[in-house]
Amino acid sequence: MSTSQSDALVIYGATGDLAFKKIFPALQAMAKRGHLDVPVIGVGRSAWTVDQFQARAFESLEKHGEVDPAAWEKLCGLLRYVHVDYADPTTFQALRKELDGAERPAHYLAIAPTMFETVVQQLEKSGCAKGGRVILEKPFGRNLASAQALNRTLHTYFPDQAVFRIDHYLGKESVQNLIYFRFANPFFETAWNRHSIQRVQITMAEEFGVVGRGRFYEEVGAIRDVVQNHLLMVIACLAMEQPSGRDSESIREERVNVLKMIRPLIPSDVVRGQFRGYRREGGVAPESQVETFAALRLYIDSERWAGVPFYVRTGKCLPVTATEVLVEFKRPCCPVLDEIEPPLPNYFRFRLSPDVTIALSTMTKVPGEAMVGERIELAARQCSGDQMDSYERLLGDAMKGDATLFARRDGVEAAWRVVQPILDTPMALYEYELNTWGPREADQLIEGDWHNPLVSV
């Protein structure tokens, strides 16, 4: 795999919401660390001047970060802008001119997936694709067939090693920490399997609703939006085997192997919900059947995980905004000491956001004459320190040609195979109240109780 540094970064959709909220702050951070010293060319349909584009970037930093004077001055000097009509090949000649001899441009498509094919075709026709890389935002298709078609299109114009599919969850420091914690602490490895673990829970809760994005959400829903990508990737990181090497392909291979072994979902393993009032949101159909909540039960058909249920839950308008993993170990097989009932099971808890917390529950003796115990939690919260934002990390890695934190073609398709059966099947949709943990029907899916993340203190 080529690891040569890109000599230009082209951002398609540079006037859009994603660039405003995430990309400009990431670019300033890259400039501050000395990781960005090539032209940054914004591409958009708006007939802006360079000055207007720079003003937009500055406003972004004021609202979604903070302005670092020295880093901003450096970034501002790198910014360029090209007005294009994606369907008009002549406008791409202006981009070719602005690239000014760049031999290894990185093309970042922060645009609607429906435009991916058009843009990569124009890049090829204009000569802008030669020697370059392409970086794509999710979603990668709407289902398995469209993902396969998209991959075929991409690889018509770019070799596989030049395609970088962003799942920003893989770029999160907390998800990187999850992988590191597993393999840097070998005392966990002997218990990280079906012989010791009873079940695994993953909850990704959002306190807010669709916040003005009703039209977009009608096209995706919770399963397409975060289950097929973010949450399946978290499972892959939790369940993967130790890579054979530190190179990107060894690591990606183990993640993909997990995705390929996850059993395709069936309707009895899924509960879908919709928060009360969703249908009154702008852009939402009056009789919408799109889920804003999903609870799922998954199984991994591998020697390590056979028979261990992975419970996944995500939703909007829930009581908190947080993502947590809870790995529950099996109870002792018989009562201990003076206790009539076996003690509560140990668990490992990993909070991925908004803060990073690693916690382990243990049983300790209650003071007194009897040999009985109580469960306590030993927790460590990680300070943020000089933490990289996921987009800063991912854009920097793509420009270096490091694909470790990017989704691979067969991994994307394997993830779609997991959810495809329930996308094709009409299923019940249960209404739930705002600020609750979803419809009651989700409680029937899990053996025992759901773990509800608490508000961070």
Q: Which amino acid is at 109?
A: L
* 83 tagged catalytic: no
**Helices 50-64 and 24-33, axial angle in degrees (round to 10):** 90
Which residues does 268 contact at the CB level (< 8 Å), separation at least 6?
none
**What's the full length of the chain, in residues?**
457
| Structural contact between residues 422 and 267, judged by C-beta atoms closer than 8 angstroms | yes
| Structural contact between residues 343 and 329, judged by C-beta atoms closer than 8 angstroms | no
DSSP state of 229: I
Which residues does 70 contact at the CB level (< 8 Å), separation at least 6?
32
297 forms beta bridges with 311
What is the phi-psi region of residue 67: left when phi exceeds 0, alpha when psi lies from -120 to 50, beta otherwise?
A: beta
How far from each other are the two terminal CA atoms of the chain, in whole angstroms?
44
Catalytic site residue from 107, 168, 230, 451? 230
| Structural contact between residues 440 and 281, judged by C-beta atoms closer than 8 angstroms | no
Enumerate long-range contacts of 240-247, CB under 8 Å, 24 or more apart.
240/179, 241/304, 242/183, 242/189
**DSSP of 112-170:** -GGGHHHHHHHHHHHT-STT-EEEEPSP--SSHHHHHHHHHHHHHHS-GGGEEE--TTT
Would you state the torsion angle of the CA atoms of residues 338, 344, 348, 352, taken in this order, to the nearest 10 degrees? -140
49 by Cβ neighbours in 10 Å (0-12 / 13-18 / 19+) ranks as: exposed
* Catalytic machinery residues: 230
